[in-house]
Amino acid sequence: MCGIFGYARRTPSGMSVEAVEQRLRSLFKLSETRGKEAAGLAVFSGDRLSVYKDAISASEMLRTRDYQNFLARAFPRDAKGGLQSFAVIGHTRLVTNGSQVVDENNQPVLRDGIALVHNGIVVNHTELWEKLGQRGRKPTADLDSEVLAALVEEAVTEDK
């Protein structure tokens, strides 16, 4: 199965992006034993949700310039130059459904402003999509976990 982790920090004044990066590096490396086919990260900070994922192991991803650039953009600073509050979810993938070479099949799943990670297999995803399809919702990838994000999005929409 896959590896998942989360990390949230409220009012991280005085904390540097480098300190956050070090913590994320540790979390990714600990999670990588659960899946090496793909890795991804979703960051919510300020009023922005940012997602980065790639069809490579977490160890490889951590060394890429694209990942470093993502981190620099994903963590905005407050008026004093410190980090804003943030929440992070990460995922290391052991492929079950959908090829990892297609980014939409990797996690975190991003759908309608919802970022989600999941560890496991949704065995009834076909039936769930049939029901959701009757209400106008369709899958955008071959990843079974996407149906969970669609169900959350539907529940949030109904609550408004």
Mean pLDDT, residues 40-45: 96
Cβ(35)–Cβ(59) under 8 Å?
Answer: no
Q: Write down the mean pLDDT value for the chain.
A: 89
Structure pTM? 0.88
78 or 111: which carries more pLDDT confidence?
111
Around 40, how many Cα atoms within 13 Å sit in the side-chain half-sphere?
Answer: 26
pLDDT in tens, 9-27: 987 777 788 888 999 999 9
**Least confident span in 13-22, 48-57, 124-133:** 13-22
* Longest distance between any two alpha carbons in the chain, whole Å: 51
pLDDT of residue 12: 72
Place of tokens 């900070």: 45
Give burial (CB, 10 Å; 0-12/13-18/19+) of 104: middle
pLDDT of residue 109: 93
pLDDT of residue 11: 76
pLDDT of residue 121: 87
pLDDT in tens, 61-101: 999 999 999 998 998 877 777 788 899 999 999 877 777 87
What angle separates helix 65-74 from helix 17-31, to the nearest 10 degrees? 130
pLDDT of residue 160: 60
pLDDT of residue 158: 75
76 or 114: which carries more pLDDT confidence?
114
